[in-house]
C-alpha cells in the first residue's frame, strides 16, 4: 500500500505517519525541509516564491520516485506533491507573491509529473479547524511557528477543502481532528487501520 497523509500545518501528519509506520512495520517518507531558498524566501517572498516552490516540487518528485521503486510493501508519505501545487503554490499566487507567468510554468511541470507518478492507494486527509491547528502548533513548540497568522491557516484550510472536494480524484479517508484525537485515544488508530485493511482487501 502507498498511503499519503495530507493536512494543514499542525494537523498531525508527522505524528500519524510515525504511528502507522510502526503499526504496519512500514517505511516512512517525510517532507524534506532543508530548502536552500528558505532564507531568501522569507526575506523577499515575491522575489523567491517560484524558486522556493520549485525546489519543493523537485524534491517531492525525487522522493516519490525513490519511494515507489524501493520495493517496500507498505509506504507512508508525510505530505504530498499535490499539496505543494494546489495548496501552497496556488496560495502564493493568489496572494500576489508568485506571478501568473511563474505559476503557469510551475503548474505545467506539475501536470507533467502527475501523469507519470501514480496516485496514493489511499490519501488520509487530516481535517482540522484553525483553533485545533493553533492548539497543536503551540503544543509542539516550534519557535518559528508560534506567531503563525490565523488568517493564513484559514486560507490554507479553504484550499485544502476545495482540493479534497473538487480537484483530487483519488480515494480519500477523512479524519476530523476536531473530534478524533488519535494521540489521546488509541482506539481511533485501530479504526483507521481497519479501514485501510478493508480497502487493501486484507
Mind listing the domains of the chain with CATH numbers?
Answer: 2-200 (3.40.50.300)
Interatomic CA distance for residues 94 and 88, integer angstroms: 10
Active-site residue, 121 included: no
- Predicted confidence at residue 67, as pLDDT, reads 86
- pLDDT, one tens digit per residue, over 92-133 is 999 999 999 999 999 999 999 888 888 999 999 999 999 999
Residue 21 has pLDDT above 80, yes or no: yes
Give the Cβ contact number of residue 136 at 10 Å: 19
Return all residues near 108 (Cβ < 8 A) that are at least 6 apart.
none
- Predicted confidence at residue 127, as pLDDT, reads 97
Rg (CA), the chain: 17
Interatomic CA distance for residues 138 and 141, integer angstroms: 5
Mean pLDDT over residues 16-20, rounded?
95
Counting residues of the chain whose pLDDT is more than 70, the rounded percentage is 94
Per-residue confidence band for 152, with pLDDT thresholds at 50, 70 and 90? confident
Contact 136, 145 (CB under 8 A): no
- Predicted confidence at residue 202, as pLDDT, reads 56
- Predicted confidence at residue 41, as pLDDT, reads 86
Mean pLDDT over residues 13-19, rounded?
94
Q: Enter the C-alpha cell of residue 126.
A: 487530516
Residue 53 has pLDDT above 70, yes or no: yes
- Predicted confidence at residue 201, as pLDDT, reads 62
Return all residues near 138 (Cβ < 8 A) that are at least 6 apart.
146
Mean pLDDT computed over every residue of the chain: 90
- Predicted confidence at residue 192, as pLDDT, reads 95
Per-residue confidence band for 145, with pLDDT thresholds at 50, 70 and 90? low
Catalytically annotated residue among 34, 78, 111, 149: 78
Amino acid at each position: 500500500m502507498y498511503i499519503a497523509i495530507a493536512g494543514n500545518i499542525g494537523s498531525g501528519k508527522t505524528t500519524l505517519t510515525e504511528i502507522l509506520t510502526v503499526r504496519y512495520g512500514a517505511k516512512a517518507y517525510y517532507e524534506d525541509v532543508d530548502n536552500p531558498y528558505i532564507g531568501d524566501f522569507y526575506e523577499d517572498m515575491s522575489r523567491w516564491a517560484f524558486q522556493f516552490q520549485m525546489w519543493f516540487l523537485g524534491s517531492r518528485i525525487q522522493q516519490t520516485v525513490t519511494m515507489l521503486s524501493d520495493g517496500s510493501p507498505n509506504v507512508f508519505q508525510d505530505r504530498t506533491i499535490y499539496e505543494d501545487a494546489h495548496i501552497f503554490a496556488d496560495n502564493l499566487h493568489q496572494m500576489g507573491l508568485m506571478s501568473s507567468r511563474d505559476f503557469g510554468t510551475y503548474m505545467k511541470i506539475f501536470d507533467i509529473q502527475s501523469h507519470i507518478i501514480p496516485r496514493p492507494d489511499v490519501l488520509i486527509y487530516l481535517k482540522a479547524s484553525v483553533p485545533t491547528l493553533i492548539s497543536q502548533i503551540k503544543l509542539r513548540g516550534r519557535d518559528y511557528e508560534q506567531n503563525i497568522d490565523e488568517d493564513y491557516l484559514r486560507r490554507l484550510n479553504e484550499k485544502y477543502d476545495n482540493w479534497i472536494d473538487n480537484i483530487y480524484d483519488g480515494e480519500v479517508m477523512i479524519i476530523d481532528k476536531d473530534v478524533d484525537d488519535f494521540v489521546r485515544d488509541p482506539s481511533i488508530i485501530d479504526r483507521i487501520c481497519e479501514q485501510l485493511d478493508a480497502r487493501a482487501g486484507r
